[in-house]
Structure formats: structure tokens, C-alpha cells
Structure 1
Amino acid sequence: IRFLNVKKSCRYALGMEDGTIPDSDITASSAWSDSTEAKHGRLSTGEGDGAWCPAGAVFPSASEYLQVDLRSLHFLALVGTQGRHADGHGREFARSYRLRYSRDGRTWITWKDRWGQEVVSGNENTYDVVLKDLGPPIVARYVRFYPLADRVMSVCLRVELYGCLWNDGLLVYTAPVGHVMHLSGSPVYLNDSTYDGSVESGVQFGGLGQLFDGVLGGNDFTETKELRVWPGYDYLGWSREALGQGSVDIEFHFEKTRSFHTMQVHSNNRHTQGVRVFSKVDCQFKPGLLLPWSSPPLSLAVPLEDLKDPSSRPISLPLGGRPAQILRCQFAFADRWMLISEISFYSGTFRGVDPMDTGSALPAPPVSSATPRPPPTVFPSSVRAGLPVAKDDSSNTAILIGCLVGIILLLLTVIAVILWRQYWKKILGKVMEEGFQHDFQTRLSQLFHPSLHTSIPPFATSSLLPLPPGCGMDLEKGLPPTQEEPPPYPDAPPYPALSPPFPASVPHYAEADIVSLQGVSGNNTYAVPALTSSSPTAADCTPLPELPRHCLVFKEKLGEGQFGEVHLCEIESPQELPNLEFPFNVRKGRPLLVAVKILRPDASKNARNDFLKEGKILSRLKDPNIIRLLGVCVSSDPLCMVTEYMESGDLNQYLSHRVLLDKTGPTHNTPTISYPALIAMASQIASGMKFLSSLNFVHRDLATRNCLRPIKIADFGMSRNLYAGDYYRIQGRAVLPIRWMAWECILMGKFTTASDVWAFGVTLWEMLSVCQEQPYSNLTDEQVIDNAGEFFRDHGRQVYLSRPDVCPQGLYDLMLSCWNRDCKLRPSFAHIHSFLTEDAMNMV
């Protein structure tokens, strides 16, 4: 079964790094030695001498390659590459490469991006992983990486492929080439620009292209979802006049025979410009390569009720479960032009008569009352006479089937009752044995799954949960206590009401529970108190700097979230934009690199409102250690926010490839970092958080992955595949950085400046451990949640992060104070900043 937006969700590592792809499926044109052969070309692993290295030079021939056999067709959306690090001894990496792929192992296709470029930019050092979005995506079984060089040099390579199984089974489609429409003298190119087959006599065949890339075109076909592409890019379109016939014929070839239930066609209907959806479609089905077309063809009319609406729309066409390996569909013109963006089939494995048996009868069931039923197969009398006559026992068969169904339903009911009784017995037993000390993992799931609220009572009330003073309360000065907090993560139900047993306390621990913005990159970057976000301050009334969209030149995708994407872009002449806010001087003639958050055009109204609110909030954050908003593009879709971009990357990647410099000096060639340098960076992070806390802003995801170099606090970590392992997914919905979260965040969903202080303590621990391991690496995610329960129970069984070897006891005491159970007793960021700048620097 195929789902339309496959590009969005089909981004899973396919097994180079974790070993799912066996050594036998990784081959190469050559290798330096046994220790650098193909099987060592796995991302982020260091077996052998650390990577695959070809025996020959890659300049100028570019004939050396690393090949991965995925054993079946896969949809590939992303590739990752890495050089040879070998514990600091490696010096080889590929600055660029080409990709070639094949679906059958015989025909090889060179991948090109949407602008026709074959060369993919690769690595700049031996250790960083560089991920490249494949636009357009690839459908292939075999993939080859060809490293490139601009001079004679040695290269080594490690790779990973990201995607999912190509469940469609579609091998190729054949269609007429698209045409060019002229609107007001401007050409609109409606060709299939990413088609990877051949073209002859106006017909493209033997490949796949934009009709199956998962990208849906918008209402206005002259506007595109990709930057720097031509008008009409998202559609394949045909002119009735240029085609010279009344229909567009498209043929689809599949790997094997399938039962087809529905065909969904995303079509444009901008009738004011002569574009309409097709009026009807006639489909023929060929059950096998050696079999004739089944008859009669299936004819389906398209309802005409809402065709005055110019919006593009998906049109679902029932195919009635007919078997086919080849489909041929004729889409009839309803106007001068027909534009199609995407075609999807909902199908399943065919389990009927073997279609290769040419004598088999292949019934084609009707799909509706309007579709004529095919005539029954009529055998000549001479054949009928020789056939055995079977007794009609249909009545007995019906009774037997009914009995079996009844028995199965009865068994399922009994099993459900037994499981239900055991579940409640377990829950009640825990309550009896532990004195209302609940299973916190179950309660955590309860926070994010409304269905559990109907069967399990709220886990936290003031009578059962004696909270420390100041924790879990609305402490905003001048605001009454809130009775219910909006969920900090998408689609979460409200948290159980907590009756605060203590009076209000210091304002710098103010709850940020009134405005909860869903950031475009997938997380709540800043949670803002209502008093701050809704007051008619001058900052709120100041219009955001609007940047012309054409000045942004796309470079690469950095990441994506639930509601949008983060792109690396370039502004070629930033000095010519007077309304661009500069946090620094840019040398004349040098382009400015920026990060651009782009909201999906199909995002909901709430997401759009949150996007605009987030822009207003970020425009207020003007601090040397906070990523700054430089401008926005909100006059038209897609909505964009333009922020600073730090070319040096994030702090986690920087530190993880270094060792701490001790008094004996460096002992090998691995890059080093000193203790004073670490403290200096930590004080800059504390300074940025001190600024945020002064505005009662709560970050919620402070970690080294969200600190860029030079030190600026950002929020891109959750949107990057590289850090997927740092987030815990609760039954497929909420995604939480639980290893950095305070216990009250995990158990009650309470995010405050005090919980940011807790996360800062973990971040400081990361830095002094030079990011060599994940916090609580010896605990599973479930054990981390259990540990939060131990903090709540406060029986002395809670586990703290251990003191790093280089960390002085005084600095470790600061970390422990950040992890104090009582959030009122945790230090403020002002105190932390003062300690790091005045005291910690002198500790050794």
C-alpha cells in the first residue's frame, strides 16, 4: 500500500551503520588492502582501518566506486558520508562524489539534482557526518558512490543510506513528455524534469519521475515548493492541442501481479487558465507479461459538482481489486490543459490464480453499479461435457463458515477479558504494595494519550504528591495560579490539575505555561509566559524585517520537523538589503550564510499563527549568545524565518572529536581542548540563558547539540537525524529529551527556568566529558524515567551523573545543585554565570 507523502516520513537508516546490511551486500571496484575493503565503508564505525579506500586514484578517471545491494527496491531520500578518522590517524575523505543507481543491476542511472547537477558536495574533514537530501529521491535496489577529487589524491569513504521499502512495486511508467504553457509571455515548463528513463518520439519510457516522488503541487501551478526552480516544476502537464488527441495515455509496469483497489491522482484545476481535472479515465489491466489485456476496460467518470473550485485536489478512483502487472490508463481532457502532480496506487499482493498460467480465468470484479459486470466465461459444449460435475454444497459451506467465525469471535472475547483482568490486577497490586507509588513510565504515557485518562485516574494530586516549594506551580508575579497547563508537545492532552500547596515564590522561576509554541523544526524552542507574549509592548508592535524571497539562494537542507524544514541558504549581496538586521559586519563582496526555517504551505492555521508568533518572539532575543532572527518572508507562502548560521557547526560535534589537554601535553595527533576553554564556553552558554531567564523565556531543550560555535544557543537539534537517539518517543507521538529533563518535567510536564537550570547541569557534564557519551549511557530510556520517579519519592535511591575525570569537586558541586530535587534550591543563571566567570576558571 502506498501513502502519498512518502518523502516526509521515509527517512530511516537502512543498515550500513547498525549492520542490518551484511558484508556480502557491500562491494567495491577495488581496495587498498584487506583492512580497507568495502565492508568497512560503514558510517560511524571504525572496523579495520576505519573506512573503504579504493586502490587507485579517483582523479581524473572517477571510476572507483562503493556499491550497496539493498536486496529489493527501496525509496531513498537521504545519503550520509564520512571520511576515514581511525582514532585520529586517518586523513582521507571525499570532498565530492557522484551517485549511480539501478533497479535491475543492468541499467545504471546517474543521479542528478533538480537543477541537473551530478556532483554532490561531500566532506570537509575526516570525522563529521554530512547528510545530503536527495531531491529528487531515488527508487533503486543498487546504489554506487563514486568519490571525486580535483587533483591526484587518496580518498576514503564511509556511507549510510536512508529511506524505506518501495512497497508500490512500480518499476517504470510510460507517458507523453510534458509541454510548455505560455502565460502573459512567460513560459511555464510542465515537463517531467526528474524522469530517469529515455525519451523518444515525444514519449518518455523506462523510468520513474515526478509522478511518483511524493511531492504534491499547490493550487497555483506557477508557484513551486522548491527554491530556485522554474514555474510549473511541481506538475507534469499536457496541452490537448499539442498532443493532438483527446486523452493522455499513461502505462504503469510493476514487479509482479498485484490486486489494485484504488488509484489516487493529484490534479490541478485552475480553470481560469484553461486547466481542469480529467473528465473520465479508462483503465486496462494486464495480469501478466505474457497475458492479453483483460476486457472490458474499466471506465470511471469524475464527478463534476465542485469543478468551479480552482483548488488542486486528489481524485480517488476505485479499481475494484482487479489483478494486473501492467496498467494502461487513458485520462480524458476536460479543457485545453491537464496537469498532474502525483499518482498513487493502493494495492496488495495478488493471491488469485497464477497469472503466468495462460489458460487461467482471471475475473475482473465490478467496482460500482455503474460499471458493467464482465460476462461469465463460456466454455464450448465439447469442453463442458468433459468437465466433472461438482455437487452444490454452498449451504453447508455457509453454515461451516458461520460457525468458525463465531468460535473465533468467542475466543478473542475470552482473551481480551483475561488480558484486561490481568492488567487491572497488576495496576492495583502496584498501588497496594507501594502505597500509591505509581509506575512512572505508564503515567508518562498517560500525559500524552487521552485514551488512558478514561481508565486510569490522574497520577498527581496535591494529596498524593507533596511537591517541594515552588515546583509545579504558576509563580509568575501578579498572575493567579493556573489550574491547567497547555501541553508542551504537539497533540498532548492537558496535564492533570495540581493544587499548589505553597504560596508564590521568586519570579525568575516563572512557569512558561500560557503560550506553548510548536516550532517549525519540531520542538518548542521557547515557552513564553502569557504576560510577556500578550502585552502590547513596543517589541510586539515593531514589524518584523521583511526580506525579499529572491535574495535567498538554497544550498542544502539542514533538517526537518513536523511542520516545516530548516535550509541552509546564502544571501549574495547582504549589504544591499537595508532592512536586514546584522548582528555582525559582513565583508563587502562576501555572501552571508543563513539558516531559513520554512513552514510547509499545507500547514494548519494554528501552525501558521504559531509560526508568526515565534517570529515575533525571536525578534526580541538580541543577545551575543543567542541565535538571532535576521528577517522574515511572510508576505506570501511559504512563510520563512531567516536566522544566523554558524559555519563551525554545533558544540557536540566539535567536542566529540577532541580530547582534553592535560599537563603532560598532547600525546598524539587528535585535536585537543583545554579546561579553561571549556569553562569559557560554558560561561557563554550561561550568559545566554541568563538573558533568556530575565525575559522569563524557557528553552526546554538545552544541550550541546543546540549550542552552535562560536557559542550561540539555538534550537535545531530535534530536527536533525544525527541526534534522533537523544530523544525518547512516547508511543509514536511526543518526542522528549528525557536525559536532559528535570524530574518534574518528565513526571508532570512542568517546564520552568529551574528545569532549564537542570538541563544546563547536564550540558556542563557533557562538555567536561567532551561529549564522549550520552548522559546516563548506562541506563535505558525506561530506567531514566524510573530514576525520575526516584527523585520524586526521595528515598535516596536516585542516580546522579558521575563526576567527569577532569571536573574539580567545586564545579561538580555546582552540577549537583542544578539537579536539586527542590527546584527553589537550584541556582539561578545569574549565579551560575558569576561562578563560572569568577571561580571555576581558577579550579584545576
Structure 2
Amino acid sequence: MIYISLLSMRCFQSCVCRYPLGMSGGQILDEDISASSQWSESTAARYGRLDFEEGDGAWCPEITVEPDNLKEFLQIDLRSLHFITLVGTQGRHAGGIGNEFAQMYKIKYSRDGSRWISWKNRQGKQVIEGNRNAYDIVLKDLDPPIIARFVRFMPVTDHSMNVCMRVELYGCEWLDGLVSYNAPAGEQMNSPSYPIYLNDSVYDGAVIYRCGLGQLTDGVCGLDDFTHSHVWPGYDYVGWNNESFPSGYVEIMFEFDRTRNFTTMKVHCNNMFSQHVKAFRQVVCYFRSDLDWEASPLSFSPVVDEKNPSARFVTVNLANHMASAIKCHFYFADAWMLFSEITFQKHSNVTELTLNFIYHHNYLPVPSAEDDPTHKVDDSNTRILIGCLVAIIFILVAIIVIILWRQVWQKMLEKASRRMLDDELTASLSIQSETFTYNHNPNQSGTTSEQESNSTYERIFPLGPDYQEPSRLICKLPEFAQSSEDPGRWTHISAPSTSTAASKSTTTTVVQDGVPHYAEADIVNLQGVTGSNTYAIPAVTMDLLSGKDVAVEEFPRKLLTFKEKLGEGQFGEVHLCEAEGMQEFMNKEFLFDIAEDLPVLVAVKMLRSDANKNARNDFLKEIKIMSRLKDPNIIRLLAVCIYSDPLCMITEYMENGDLNQFLSRHEPEGQLAQLSNAPTVSFNNLCYMATQIASGMKYLSSLNFVHRDLATRNCLVGKKYTIKIADFGMSRNLYSGDYYRIQGRAVLPIRWMSWESILLGKFTTASDMWAFGVTLWEILNYCKEQPYSQLTDEQVIENTGEFFRDQKRQIYLPQPVLCPDSLYKVMLCCWRRNTKERPSFQEIHQALLEIQP
């Protein structure tokens, strides 16, 4: 006998519980697929399988779907409760004959087949965006996920039309056995700034009986600070105030599918005692195995923690009680008690664990007790039967031991290889603080070929347990194999000392995938005021630049008025200022749309007085390089203050701020924006802004400069949607969440970086092209979501390993709702694994000009 713990799965279940449940694979039988009606026998429910072309290619209802008609549905019976996190839909293509699809749909689900519940997202929206053509597969995350046996897809239209559907469900079997809980309604906490709602907003129980499931079983654990959430303050917790409960406790009752043997209950509690919130003081649990409750309850008192405010799981020992229902009284330890997850550990035998393991790894149905009716056993064969069972148990135990040993050993290797990867990244990128902007590469080729992209989702399960760090596999691939003529050709670049102003070694340039990549011994590292290594420029080019005069004038400091601190780094700061009389100091090529007597908004990079000599020299070199960047879509250096300390460089700044904040305050044109009176940006203007970014990057690539941090936060917006690319977004605390810190030293924008930049430390125009694709994705999403928001930073890095191995398991950013297929194909071209196959910025700029309406 062993214990099965579900805790490790529950809080991360939404991320990893994404197996296809059998519509496309055939595990779901035809008899378990039904529909409200069918157009013909060849469009029956059994043909509604995702990515199948049997029959006439899909399920099609008998009549045309009307806007107010929600009677048509495709129903799937999973035979047992499942935790469903993702759905996929597709229209009827039938080899080009069909062109019917559902542009929108709703989902209803049931756990018992009698009571049906309408799914809605965490904002209360029920309608899900569907397909835009008959052949592409559109995947939608269910947030919150659902726990159900029966699921119905119900097409929705805003006008009369014919629809057909092919569908798939993704998730895994619900092993908890919990079918409902009954708890008092959560309450509202009043704070000085805003109200904090602690209600169970996704609870799907009936209003009268309150028999359902909700946030206590949605797989999401609340943060230490319960006021922080991606929806509203307090959203992830259900909370109660002791003044509402004269008895001093909150009663929660849990109903299970059958009688089980329970070992422990784990309750995720908030303990932010500074806000009068603590974990429960005592819990008293009653058990019901048949119809009656046991007379003697179980009592447990955890240790009250008034030193550590972190949220935590409190484990309650249930002493192997047999029960089909558990009723617990949680006693208050302070004014408030907040729970976000409750999970149970059950006692089970080896056979059940093994069969569940086989199910999850081979997608086979798990036999239950109901499938094996009771039958009599011949007494004469009892000894033989017992011997066979013992032998089977020994074999299963051996299998489990081998599996567990393999997992432990694999985790040890994974931790060790991750440490190696951190060391490689830190050494490869040679970054000690917080920023990096342009990398000048004079020999880089600017043209690449464009090929057709593959499907976005080849495999749904994102991060398998057999992940190996790609750094171990590099030498096995022909692309990165060592050359017999040059044994060190693919070796990682080493980190130079930042105190060296320039290294003029003649080490050979490393070339991979046809894209030149400079060894650190060849380059000059410039110390930017907002951090470290703002530039990485070949020493030869720096020598050529140093012989030229700086074409910028000295600006009087007294004419600068401080407005706002934009950011800071190790050696300096970036300020937003107003400059009076700037027009008198500028070249004729600058045209300000501001009267001469009005101040100009500028960004001022200022070197701190305590900066060392090397930082000072690098600052002056940065001025020389910035003075030579002259393009309508690149931020320009306007003037300097270098005759006295502190040294300053004055650059353009746009009145609408950065593109990320600008778009996040706007909505797409449509009825929703009209109802909310929100400012809008049209699709045409989105394309116009993206085209300008491509134009600016085309100019940088023509000079063989590599930006290394292209994102909407580094693009500034002026009048009439004018865009200029900048470089100081990294220094702003506002975007600290966009950067991943390696061993407390280097910070990287990993969600925008190509796989070769993360794993190999390679920064080229091709890696800038990858970042441009992510930036384009941000724009089409109106910057409402961080790239790969469903993945942790570590999972993002692991996903780059999938790109490296190229086994069709990598996850791409999904197609935005407002993004046409032609524009999404542009993004996919930017994210091609082979750097030589990614387009040039000249090609991308031309493609966007053709797409732009």
C-alpha cells in the first residue's frame, strides 16, 4: 500500500494537464459522441472529431443556426470526471468542398448528466471566439478550467448562417473524487484604497443548494499578498470575517464520488497578519461513510505563525478515515480567514496507481470498480489465483521503483544542467547588471530566404518530464558540430572584464547558420548609464568612429526642467525633461511640430558623479555612436552636456510615451469600445505603427547594429501614431517583470528572445527579427497580455529547448483575435528555428506595406 499525493499536480494542473482526451485520437468512442441534430448521416456527431476528414468532414446541425437559437449542440461523454483546461475547434473543409465553421460558441458542462452549467471566464464572459476559416485549428484555454464528465459545444452566431464543427478536449482525469463543496459565500473587505472582493466568483453550484465546485478547486494558489491578482484584488481567495460567524467557525462540506480512505487534507491559507488575516486556529472534521455522520469528530490545531506572512499549505491529518463526505469547521485565528485551494490525499493500492500512470502516459481509459462486476471464484483455484496476484504485484512494485528512480535521477540531472545553463548564459552574454541595446556587426549578411511556416500547434502538451538542457546536445547537431580544422569554432564566448575599455585582439569571428557572431575578444563593451554593456561593437569599427567629430552641440543645463525620473541603472539615470529653446541648437534636418517659444519634451541620460573612469569613457563613446543614428523611426541624439559634470546626453522623447502603455490604454474599434467610451486604435493604425518599427529596424540592420531588446516598451509614440525606436525601457521599474534575472547578475528579456540568444548567447539581426515577431504579437493584442503569460520564466526557457531540439513540441504564441492569417504568417516567419530562413527587415517591411490596408 502507498499514498497518492495530488498536491503537486493541483496548483500547476492548468499548465501541465493538457492531454488530448480522445476526439482526434479515437479513444472517445462514437457512441459517446451525440448531438441535438444532424444535417445528414454523413455529418453526424461522430464526424465532429478534430483534424479528421471522415464522412462529409464535420458535424453539422440540421438547421441554420440563428442568433437567438442556442438549441444546437455537439455533446461528448468522457465516461468519468475530467479536469479540462483547453478546447480546440475546427470547421468543415472536406478537401476544399466545405466552408462552414463556427465563428463563436459557448460551452456547457455537467458532472451528472442532469444539471448543465454554462462556462464563463473569470470576467463573466460566456462566448468564446471560434474559427475564421474552415481548416485552421483554433485552441482556447479555459480559464477557469472545468471539472466535468459531459461537455457540450454550442455554436453562436450574430446572423443566420450554416455552421459545422470539429472539436477536441484537452485535460486529464479528475482523480480527487471531489464532486462538490458547500461553503458560505465569500465576503468583501474594505480597505482605505479600494474594496477587496473575496467571493467565490467561479463557483458553479446551484444558488439554492450551493452544490458545486469553484475557486477552491481551480488549481490556482493565491499569492502571499492577497491584494494582488490578475483579475481584481483578492480574486484568488475566498474569505470570511469572524464578525459574520457568531459560532467562531466557517463550515465547509465536501462530497465525493464514492467512499474513500483519506490520509490528509491540505488547505492553502493566506497568513498576511498585518492585514488581520491568519490561517485557521483549529479545524474539527466530521466524516460520513454511508448515510450517518460519525459521532466522534477529528480535531487538529496547527501552529500559529506570526513571523512569516507567506501563504502556505496547512496539512491536516485525517487518520485514514473512510468517508464519502467530510464536514469541517474552520475556527478563526484573527479577524479574517482566506483560503485559495483545498485538496485531499487518499489511501490507495499499487494497482490503482499503476493503472492511473498508464492512463496519463498512454491515454488509455482506467478501469473502475463498476466495469468489473462481482463474480464468484472457484475455491479449487484460489491458491493459483493468489499466486498469480502476488507475482503481478511484485512486478508492478518493481516497475514503480524503476520509474521513481528514473524520475529522481532525472531531476538531479536537470538541476545540474540548469546550473550549467545559468553559468553559460552569464558567461556568454557577459552582462553584469541591467541592460544591453545595440550590437554592431559589420560583416553580417542582410538577406535571407522566406519559406512556408508549419502549423502553430503540433503537440499540445508543452513541457514534458524528459526535458534535457540543449547545451548538452549542441555538439551532436551538424549545425553546431566542432570543425576538425577549427576545434573551437562553436565554443561559447567568454566574458571579458568590464574595466577594459577596448580589446583589439584579432580572434577569428565565429560564424553559425551563415550569421556572423563576434567573439567577446573582438568587441568593445560600452557601459550605458541605465546598466551595463549597452553596446557591443567590433573594436575595428570603434577605432574608425573615434576618429570622427561628434556632430552635436553643447546645451545649457539651466534650460532643462526636470519632469519625471524614467529609470536608473548602476552608473546613471534617465530623466524626462522639458528643454527650452532646443530649436536654436538643432540642425535644420530636425523639424519640431512645436512653436519656438514652447519647451520640447526630451529624455536626458545622465551619468552619476560617482561613476568610474571606464564608465565615463564608455558614455562618451555611446554619444559618438548615437550621433550617427539618423532615421525617422529611431530616437535621435539632440544635444549633450559634457563640458561639466554630470555628463548628459539629450535625446528625443514622444508626447504619448511608450507603445506598451499607449496601446494598453486603448481598445479595438467596435461595439465594446463604444459602450465603455474607451479610446480606440484602428487595425489600420496598428499596421502603420508596425510598419514604422520594421522601417527603423531595417535602418539599424543596414548599419549592422543589433538592438537586442526590441519590444513595445522600447518604442515611443508621437503625434499621428508616429513611432520611434528607443533603448531605455529596461531601466524602468514598470517593466521589471519583463526581465529574467540569472544568478542575481544578468537580466534578460527572455520572452522576446530567440532560442539561440537564450541558449547560445548569440545576438544577430536574425535574433532581432524574432523579437520583432513578438513585438508584432504585442501590438495585435493591444499589449493586454505578456508574451507566454501562461508559462513561468523557467518554462519559457525550457520551451526554447524545444525549439533547439525541433521535435514539434515547441509552443508558439497564439494568433491574436484581430490578427488576419497573412499577418500571423509574418510572425511565424520571424520565429523560424533556422536563422537563415528568417526574413530580413527589408523583406518584412515590404510585406507589411503590402498587408497594410
TM-score by length of 1: 0.52
Report what 2:580 is aligned to: none
Using the TM superposition, give the Cα deviation of residue 554 of structure 1 relative to its aligned residue in structure 2, in angstroms.
9.5
Q: Which residue of 2 aligns with 1:345?
A: 344
Deviations 1:328-352 (A, max 9, x none): 1111111121111111122243799
CA apart distance, 1:218:
1.9
Picking from 271, 277, 280, the partner of 1:278 is 280
Mapped partners of 1:48, 1:710: distance in 2: 40
For residues 97 and 511 of structure 1, the distance between their equivalents in structure 2, rounded to whole angstroms, comes to 52
2:802 is the alignment partner of 1:735: yes
Counterparts of 2:316 and 2:150, CA distance in 1: 33
Distance 1:216 1:21 in 2: 32
Letter in 1 for 2:489: C
1:388 aligned partner: none
Q: Give 1:332's aligned amino acid.
A: Y
Aligned to 1:681: none
Distance in 1 (alpha carbons) for counterparts of 2:148 and 2:86 = 13
Check if 1:207 corresponds to 2:251.
no
Kept in 2, the 8 Å contact 1:73–1:141? The answer is yes
Contact 1:137–1:213, Cα closer than 8 Å, also in 2:
yes
- Matches of 1:470 and 1:298 in 2, distance apart? 67
**What residue number does 2:373 align with?**
none
1:513 is displaced (CA, Å) by 9.4
Aligned twin of 2:268: 266
Q: Matches of 1:707 and 1:139 in 2, distance apart?
A: 36
Distance 1:311 1:458 in 2: 45
Tell me if structure 2 keeps the 8 A contact 1:545–1:630.
no
**Paired residue secondary structure (2:244):** helix
Q: What is the number of residues matched between the two proteins?
A: 535
Unaligned runs of 5+ in 2: 352-389, 406-465, 498-505, 522-532, 539-568, 571-617, 627-634, 636-648, 669-675, 692-706, 717-721, 740-756, 809-824, 847-853
- Show the counterpart of 2:737: 639
Paired residues of 1:28 and 1:66 also in contact (CA < 8 A): yes
Tell me if the contact between 1:513 and 1:528 (Cα under 8 Å) persists in the aligned partners: no
Deviates more, 1:540-549 or 1:30-39: 540-549
Is contact 2:666–2:680 with CA below 8 Å preserved after alignment? Answer: no
Letter of the aligned partner of 2:293 in structure 1? W
Paired amino acid for 1:184: P
Is the aligned partner of 1:35 residue 2:42?
yes
- Cα distance per residue 1:226-279 (max 9 Å; x no partner): 3xx4x3221111111113321111111111222222222111222233222111
1:237 aligns with 2:239: yes
The answer as to 2:155 corresponding to 1:150 is no
Task: Tell me the equivalent position of 1:222.
Answer: 227
2:332 alignment partner AA: F
Q: How does 1:668-747 map to 2 (within 5 A)?
A: 696=764, 699=767, 734-739=801-806
DSSP-derived class of the 2:144 partner: strand
2:298 corresponds to which residue?
Answer: 298
- In the alignment, structure 1 residue 88 sits paired with structure 2 residue 88: no
Q: Whose relative contact order is higher, 1 or 2, with alpha carbons under 8 Å and at least 6 apart? A: 2
Amino acid of the structure 1 residue aligned with 2:290: L
Q: Distance in 1 between matches of 2:47 and 2:723?
A: 40
- The amino acid across from 2:267 in the alignment is V
1:326 counterpart residue number: 325
> Structure 1 residue 147: deviation in Å?
0.7
**Equivalent residue for 2:137?**
129
Give the secondary structure class of the aligned counterpart of 2:181: strand
CA–CA distance in structure 2, aligned partners of residues 157 and 140 of structure 1: 21
Contact 1:728 1:737 in 2 (8 A): no
Q: Tell me: CA distance 1:73–1:153, structure 2 relative to 1, closer, same or farther (3 Å).
A: same
> 1:573 is aligned with what amino acid?
P
Q: Alpha-carbon deviations, 1:764-809, whole Å to 9, x = none?
A: xxx99xx99x999xxxxxxxxxxxxxxxxxxxxxxxx9xxxxxxxx
Aligned to 1:15: 22
Q: CA deviation at 1:156?
A: 0.8
In the alignment, the residues of structure 2 paired with residue 506 and residue 351 of structure 1 have an alpha-carbon distance, to the nearest angstrom, of 55
Which deviates more, 696-705 or 89-98?
Answer: 696-705
Q: CA deviation at 1:506?
A: 7.0
What is the aligned partner in structure 2 of residue 471 from structure 1?
489
Distance 1:528 1:165, change over 3 A: farther
SS in 2 for 1:68: strand
109-118 or 157-166, which deviates more: 109-118
Partner of 2:325, secondary structure, is strand
Q: Which amino acid aligns with 1:112?
A: K
Q: Tell me, yes or no, if the aligned pair for 1:512 and 1:529 is still in contact at 8 Å.
A: no
Q: Distance in 2 between matches of 1:199 and 1:345?
A: 25
Aligned match of 2:414: none
Return the offset for 1:209: 0.5
Rounded to whole Å, the distance in 1 between the matches of 2:332 and 2:796 is 50
Amino acid paired to 1:466: S
Q: Within 5 Å, give how 1:145-184 maps onto structure 2.
A: 145-184=153-192
Q: CA separation in 1, counterparts of 2:219 and 2:727?
A: 31
Amino acid at match of 1:300: F
Aligned-residue CA RMSD (Å): 6.0
The residue number in structure 2 matching 1:367 is none
Cα pair distance change 1:25/1:513, threshold 3 Å: farther
Q: For residues 567-716 of structure 1, what are the structure 2 equivalents within 5 Å? A: 572-573=678-679, 584=688, 635=733, 639=737, 696=764, 699=767
Instruction: Work out whether residues 528 and 697 of structure 1, in 8 Å CA contact, stay in contact via their aligned partners in 2.
Output: no
- Counterpart AA for 1:258: R
TM-score (norm 2): 0.51
The answer to whether the Cα contact below 8 Å between 1:261 and 1:346 also exists between their aligned partners in 2 is: yes
SS class of match (1:211): helix
Distance in 2 of aligned mates of 1:446 and 1:513: 30
CA displacement at 1:702 relative to structure 2: 6.5
Name 1:63's counterpart in structure 2. Answer: 71
In 2, Cα distance between the equivalents of 1:619 and 1:703? 12
Aligned match of 1:116 in 118, 121, 124? Answer: 124
Unaligned runs of 5+ in 1: 353-400, 417-444, 481-500, 515-526, 556-569, 588-612, 642-688, 722-726, 742-766, 777-800, 802-814, 820-827, 838-844
